[in-house]
Amino acid sequence: MYIVKRVLTMFLTIWIIATLTFIIMKFIPGDPFVSDADVLPEEVLQNIRAKYNLDKPLPVQYALYMKNLLMFDLGPSIQSETRDVNTLIADGFPVSALLGLQSLIIALVFGLLLGIVAALNHNRFLDYAAMFLAIIGISVPSFILAPLLIKYFAVEWKLLPVASWGTWAHSVLPSVALATTPMAVIARFIRSSMLEVMKQNYIKTAEAKGLSPIAIVVKHGIRNAILPVITFIGPLFVVLITGTFVIEKIFAIPGLGKYFVDSIFNRDYPVILGTTVFLVLFL
């Protein structure tokens, strides 16, 4: 019963969001087919609109879209004329997901490490050093960090390719650039909750029992301190795997992130709706 209820709520949410997106989207002035300065004769435009069912009245367009959505058909892309939204997502999502997972792992491993080291060395040099790194991680935006990474790791030291996609080596720099901010956030989360946890009575009990400091930190400390981070990982995970516009642009990555932004500038209605629905499905 619970599951049925959840699934129904999910469909309701998707329907509401798809409808709202549809309405807002149609309010943006502009035409998807007037792409360059070149204006097409009205009859030619009519033919193209007919191809995408955009010549029909809005309620009909809406009904058609919802019908196709039920069958998981997100329709054709207007910008990529020969391809449809389903394939755009099928092509882009694995790339974004791989990148997102890698950066999530980097963020978690290094974030935890930094946070724990900082907490255990509270108010000492290592704490300040780790938190200094974290502050930098939060305050330096990825579009600054990414070119810096490229400049040193690719151009100066020639260790990794500058950009593009294909081998694993191509995914290293973008994963690092993408991971920095979440890593810093995780580090600060862990530090504060670790400090909290280490003051608890059960830690004192563990110390009194004569457990080794490592056992205390791993078994009692981290396990309890990680809870707030876990609640934060859910949405972070979705944000990371659905792609990021900036990182994808800088590193020329064929991911999903660009569609969220480009589709709006192109007035590519099916892609706007498709990516939104896809994102909602994940959240």
Partner 1 sequence: MRKAFSNLSALLLLVSTILAGCSSNQTSSDAERKEEATKNVKQEITLNALSEPPSLDPALATDTTSGWVIDHLFEGLYTKNKKGEPVLGAASDVKVSDDGKTYTFTIREDAKWSDGDPVTAQDFEYAWKRVLNPETGSAFAFYMYYIKGAEEYNKGKASVDEVGVKALDDKTLQVQLDAPLSYFDKLLTMWTFYPVKKSLVESNKKWAAEAEGYVSNGAYKLTSWKHNSEVVVEKNEHYWNKDEINMEKVTWKMVNDATTYYQMYKTGELDLIQTLPTDVIAQEKDSEEFKIVPYFGTYMFMFNVEKEPFNNPKIRRAFAMAINRKAIVNNITKSGETPAYAFVPYGVNTPDGDFRKVGGTYFKENAKEAKKLLQEGMKEEGWNKLPEVTLMYNTAENNKKVAEAVQEMIKNTLGVKIKLANQEWKTYLETTAQSNFQMARMGWIGIFVDPTVILDYYLGDSPNNRTKWVNGKFDNLMAQAKVEQDETKRFQLLHEAEKVLMADMPFMPVYFYSQNYLTSKKFKGIVYPINRYPDVRWAKKIAD
Q: Which residues are at the interface with partner 1 (CB under 8 A)? A: 28-31, 33-44, 47-48, 50-52, 79-83, 87-88, 91-92, 94-95, 97-98, 147, 150-151, 154-155, 158, 161-168, 249-255, 258, 265-267
Identity of the residue, 52 or 189, whose beta carbon is nearer to partner 1 in the bound complex:
52
CA 44 to chain centroid: 39
For the bound state, the minimum distance from the C-beta of residue 83 to partner 1, rounded and expressed in Å, comes to 5
Identity of the residue, 19 or 80, whose beta carbon is nearer to partner 1 in the bound complex:
80
Angle between helices 168-198 and 125-139 (to 10 degrees): 130
For the bound state, the minimum distance from the C-beta of residue 178 to partner 1, rounded and expressed in Å, comes to 15
For 45, 49, 53, 63, 230, the CA distances from 38, given in Å and listed in that order, are 12, 17, 22, 32, 52
Long-range own/partner contacts, residues 5-14 (CB < 8 A, 24 or more apart) = 10/281, 13/280, 14/277, 14/280, 14/281
For the bound state, the minimum distance from the C-beta of residue 38 to partner 1, rounded and expressed in Å, comes to 7
The pair phi, psi for residue 76, each rounded to 5°, is: -80, 150
Identity of the residue, 67 or 83, whose beta carbon is nearer to partner 1 in the bound complex:
83
Cα distance between residue 53 and residue 73, in whole Å: 15
The pair phi, psi for residue 84, each rounded to 5°, is: -110, 170
Identity of the residue, 127 or 268, whose beta carbon is nearer to partner 1 in the bound complex:
268
For the bound state, the minimum distance from the C-beta of residue 173 to partner 1, rounded and expressed in Å, comes to 11
For the bound state, the minimum distance from the C-beta of residue 273 to partner 1, rounded and expressed in Å, comes to 17
Identity of the residue, 115 or 161, whose beta carbon is nearer to partner 1 in the bound complex:
161
Phi-psi category of residue 267: left, alpha or beta, with phi > 0 → left and psi -120 to 50 → alpha: left
For the bound state, the minimum distance from the C-beta of residue 119 to partner 1, rounded and expressed in Å, comes to 36
For 39, 53, 61, 116, the CA distances from 183, given in Å and listed in that order, are 48, 46, 44, 13
Identity of the residue, 50 or 215, whose beta carbon is nearer to partner 1 in the bound complex:
50
Identity of the residue, 1 or 37, whose beta carbon is nearer to partner 1 in the bound complex:
37
Identity of the residue, 164 or 200, whose beta carbon is nearer to partner 1 in the bound complex:
164
For the bound state, the minimum distance from the C-beta of residue 131 to partner 1, rounded and expressed in Å, comes to 31
Cα distance between residue 283 and residue 281, in whole Å: 6
For the bound state, the minimum distance from the C-beta of residue 64 to partner 1, rounded and expressed in Å, comes to 17
Cα distance between residue 229 and residue 146, in whole Å: 25
CA angle 273–35–95, rounded 5-degree value: 45
The two tokens of residue 238 are 């979705």
